[in-house]
Structure 1
Amino acid sequence: MKKYETEIRVIYADTDAMGIVYHTNYIKWFEAGRNEFLRQIGYPYSRMEKEGIWLPVAAVNCIYKSPGKYDDVLLIKSWVKELGAATVVMAYEIFRKETGELLVTGTTKHAITSPELKPVRLKKVNPALFERLSEDL
């Protein structure tokens, strides 16, 4: 499985009064990693939407290992963990780049739908995207 990498710097607004990353920001950074993953495989959200494919989030899992802090540069690794007929599970690891310390692991499960939020079988309606998502499994 190929892991795609994205970097982000923790800004002051991402932290609490103690200078530690506020926990919900990791979910936001999962999305940033997922967006960059899709862009890197040639299917940014804008292209998927034009082709009638949506990926609404159905579930999120996040396990906190160590706190990120103000001004850390974070490395987000994103990859496809599972690909079903009408679902995809993305996995993530977020590291402190300077030390390589693992801060967070997690997953997001997405329904694969039409713009009307009706489930679609990706292999049938968009075989090229299905192929790109399954290449690194």
Structure 2
Amino acid sequence: MFRTTIQPRVSETDGVGHINNTTVPVWFEAGRNEIFKMFMPDLSFDNWKMIIVNMNIDYIGQLFYGKEVEVLTWIKQIGNTSLVLYEELHQDNRLCAKGTATYVNFNHTTQKPEFIPQHIREQLEAHLF
């Protein structure tokens, strides 16, 4: 599991007084940085591999400004060329959102998916849900 702490910003708070629902996908993405580094250690867009093809989010409870949010990210499934993540957002020890995201290991030059290399697969397996 990967753990990332988010400090909510005032700009992410909406008129109803809670964190806007459009912020949650951005926070989930912040929890994926260590996974991105497995595929692109220098995080260079010149050789970016991870293409998101699906994302689903369940909003469980409200999130608020002024309190840290913890993003928990696991590997749910590893395919030949893709992987599925399972993610959760917690605030005050409450589950506030959960979701999945599917990424494809993609080669921009050939415009085709590529097999996930064995050394990366082994790193991913260490974080299975």
Q: Tell me if structure 2 keeps the 8 A contact 1:48–1:54.
A: no
Residue 10 of structure 2 is aligned to residue 12 of structure 1: yes
Please report how far the alpha carbon of residue 115 of structure 1 lies from its aligned counterpart in structure 2 after TM superposition: 2.5
Offset from partner CA, 1:41-85 (integer Å, 9 cap, x none) = x62744465895611000000000101011120011001100000
Correspondence for 1:120: 114
Correspondence for 1:25: 23
Q: Tell me if structure 1 keeps the 8 A contact 2:55–2:100.
A: yes
Q: Distance in 2 between matches of 1:25 and 1:46?
A: 26
Residue 68 of structure 2 is aligned to residue 70 of structure 1: no
2:52 to 33, 40, 57: 57
Higher strand proportion: 2
2:103 to 106, 110, 129: 110
Q: Distance in 2 between matches of 1:75 and 1:100?
A: 9
Higher helix proportion: 1
Q: Tell me, what secondary structure is at the counterpart of 2:108? A: coil
Task: Tell me how many residue pairs correspond in the alignment.
Answer: 127
Gaps of 5+ in 1: none
Residue 35 of structure 2 is aligned to residue 38 of structure 1: yes
TM-score by length of 2: 0.87
51-60 or 5-14, larger mean C-alpha shift: 51-60
Gaps of 5+ in 2: none
Q: Distance in 2 between matches of 1:51 and 1:10?
A: 30
Change in CA separation of 1:94 and 1:4 when aligned onto 2, cut-off 3 Å:
same
Q: Distance in 2 between matches of 1:45 and 1:17?
A: 38
Q: Distance in 2 between matches of 1:129 and 1:21?
A: 34
